[in-house]
Each structure stands twice: as structure tokens, then as C-alpha cells.
Amino acid sequence: MRDRRSRGFRSKAAALAASALAVALVAAGATPAYAAEDTERPTTPGPITVVAVDTTWVELTWAASTDNVGVVRYPVGAQFEDFGAQYSTDTNSIRITDLRPSRTYTFSVWALDAAGNSSVSNPTLRLTMPPGDDQPPSAPGRPVAYDVAATLVWLRWAHSTENVALDRYEVFRVNADATLTRVSEVYQYPPGRNTTQISGLTPDTTYTLVVQARDEAGHLSPLSEPVTVTTLPPPPTCAVRSVVRQWSDGFVAHLVVENTGSAAVDGWTMTWRFWASQQLHGLWGAKVVDRPSNSFLRVRDASYNALIAPGGTVSLGFVATGTQLPEEVTLNGGTCVVADE
């Protein structure tokens, strides 16, 4: 009797131990053996339908999937343009919040079983949220033109104010007959950008440009105040002669720039290769403008030498650290031929 009781006790103890181990494995997130052996996909969920919707939330449902073992959850995606989010539910319905009024989202749903098998050919629903915005944005600030060249110009402007969310800014060229031609769109995803480059322009030509804001509900702001800008003449052709005296960690350079074109240059900017690690210790015959991309030095005329007649020259020089000598020289955007003396 004692042996049978002992065997019974040991059997119960083993069963309890196995049960405890199974609980521990489930608690640790282990995949049950039957799930690991499951290779059958769940069926495709039914079409997505809208149960209820407001300006910032939507409740969706769909016909449940079936599976030979069991569906454990439904991942749900919400995509707006290039931005998306993923949600999850263990039922065949979900309420998604923190959406934006007037945006068009693409919702998708698929089924997963315990073994990680996913359904295929999963349904999607394209839904435009109800408008929650009945006010247009304010007019953008008057644009400012900068970095004007022969065929392009950069613009920046002060932001519009908007009660919900801006969709984009549209930049227009004002034609001679007062009609508008859109030349750029600046989308606000992510928000904050208020600059753009207008390219493909004609050299030595005057343009009038305005900016308009559009919110996500499609409301348009008034047009900004116009800006008028004249592109530069075609880049001149030029040649540069350089005389350099160099030492171990620096140099002094004298540049003679010749206008080899047939038209006078009246006001000029010049750039040449200049690394971020270099320091400028002295400059004459020109004034520093900036250091574009930390790879070039840009200077402009010193007023008294702004005019360079055809065949005429202008002289300037500088003292700098480093070993990078003047190369890739441009004059008003035109590349100069460089020769050492």
C-alpha cells in the first residue's frame, strides 16, 4: 500500500511540476509546442467597416478570421501619406484616437496566430476624416529673396497662423496679366519649413512672387504681399592668376581675376575651396560674405572695385591657415580658369 501511495504521490508531484513548468513557460512568453508546429495561416479578415467616426477618432470592425489553432491578435495600420502608425487588438474591432481632421487615412488589418502565421490579401479602407476646421490660415509674411543667382532664387517668409494644422505653402509667380503660375510647394510634414528654391529662371529677368498657405481642410489663406526680384546676368567667364607663398601650416595668396567675357561685371561675389578647419587671418580687396557648406569661402567686392570691364582685372589677397590653396574659383557663379604664377 505504501508503494502504491508513494507512486501516486510521485505521479501527482510530477504532474504538479509539469503544470508549474507550463505556467512558467507561458508567463515567460514561450511559444507552446503546438503553436511552433502550426504552419497554417489564418483566413483573411472580412472587409473593414466604420462603426463610428468623429473628427479625431474612428471605430472600425471587420469579420473575424478563422484558424486551425486560433487567432491571437489583429494588427491594424493607419497610413497618412508617408507617415504611419500600427495598433493591435485581440478582438475584431478597434477604436483609434489622436487622428487629424480632414486627413485621408488608409487603414489595414491582418490576423496573426500564436505561431506567428499571418493572413494574406488583407483588406484596406481609405477614409477621409470629417472636417474639424472652419477657419482659413492667415496670410504668410511677405517673402524675402536671398541667394539670388542667374537662374534661381531662394525665398523665405514668416509662417501663417492656423487653428488646426497647415498642409502646405504654395509659391506663385505673378504673370504680366495678373494670373498666377505655381512654381513651388512646401509641405508641412514635418511642420516648420518656410523656405524654398525657385529654379529654372531666366537670367537678368525680373519676377514677382507671392506665397499662399493651405490647411488640411483645404482652406486657402490670402496671398502674401509680393516680392520682386531680378535674377543676375549670365555668369561671366573669368580667369584667375594666383601667387602663393606657403609655409608649413599656412600661406598668403594674391589673386588677379580677369573678366574674359564681353559684358562688364558690375558687382561681384567670388568663392573658392576653403575647408572648415582653415582660419582666415587677413583679407584685402574683398569682404567676407559667408562660408557655404563649410567647404568654400565666399567674398564680395569692396565697393571701389565692383566694376570689372571686359578684359579688366581685379586684385585681392588673403592670409590663411592650412594647406588648401585657392581652387574651384567662381565669379558670380561662373567657373574661372585658374593658373599659378
Tell me the CATH number at 155.
2.60.40.10
The string over 70-90, giving b where at least 16 C-beta atoms fall within 10 Å of a residue's C-beta and e elsewhere, is ebeebebbbbeeeeeeebeee
Judge if 257 and 335 occupy the same domain.
yes
Query: Domain boundary residue among 128, 163, 192?
Result: 128
> Which pLDDT score is estimated for 32?
53
Q: How many whole angstroms from its chain centre is CA 266?
A: 38
How far, in Å, CA of 121 to CA of 329, rounded?
Answer: 59
Give yes or no: residues 69 and 108 share one domain.
yes
Q: Say yes or no to pLDDT of 316 above 60.
A: yes
Residue predicted with more confidence, 150 or 20: 150
108 and 184 belong to one structural domain:
no
Same domain, 18 and 55: no
Which of the two residues, 32 and 174, has the higher pLDDT score?
174
pLDDT in tens, 195-209: 999 999 999 999 999
Q: Could you tell me which residue, 121 or 49, shows the higher pLDDT?
A: 49
**Predicted TM-score (pTM) of this structure:** 0.53
Asked whether residue 101 is assigned to any structural domain, the reply reads: yes
**134 falls within a domain:** no
Q: Are residues 245 and 152 in the same domain?
A: no
Q: Cβ contacts of residue 314 below 8 Å, gap of 6+? A: 256, 257, 268, 285, 301, 305, 308
Same domain, 107 and 14: no
Q: Flag whether 244 is in a domain.
A: yes
pLDDT at 219: 92
- CATH number of the domain where residue 296 is located: 2.60.40.290
Confirm whether 138 is domain-assigned.
Answer: no
Handedness of CA 115, 116, 121, 124 (dihedral sign): positive
Q: Print the domain residue range for 97.
A: 37-128
Same domain as 21, residue 50 = no
Per-residue confidence at 63, pLDDT binned at 50, 70, 90? very high
* 45 shares a domain with 21: no
Strand ranges of the sheet holding 287-290, from the earlier edge strand across to the other edge: 280-284, 313-321, 250-259, 238-247, 334-340, 330-331, 269-273, 296-300, 287-290
Q: How far apart are CA 49 and CA 107, in angstroms?
A: 10
* Domain-located, residue 139: no
Is residue 209 included in any domain, yes or no? Answer: yes
Select from 178, 205, 230 the last residue of a domain: 230
In a domain, 259, yes or no: yes
Query: Into how many domains does the chain fold?
Result: 4
Residue at 226 is within a domain? yes
pLDDT averaged over every residue in the chain: 88
pLDDT reported for residue 34? 52
Q: Based on the fold, state whether residues 242 and 333 are members of the same structural domain.
A: yes
Boundary-marking domain end, from 213, 230, 247: 230
* pLDDT above 80 (res 64): yes
User: For residue 16, is pLDDT > 60?
Assistant: no
Same domain for 206 and 244, yes or no, is no
Shared-domain flag, residues 221 and 245: no
Is the domain of 205 the same as that of 112?
A: no
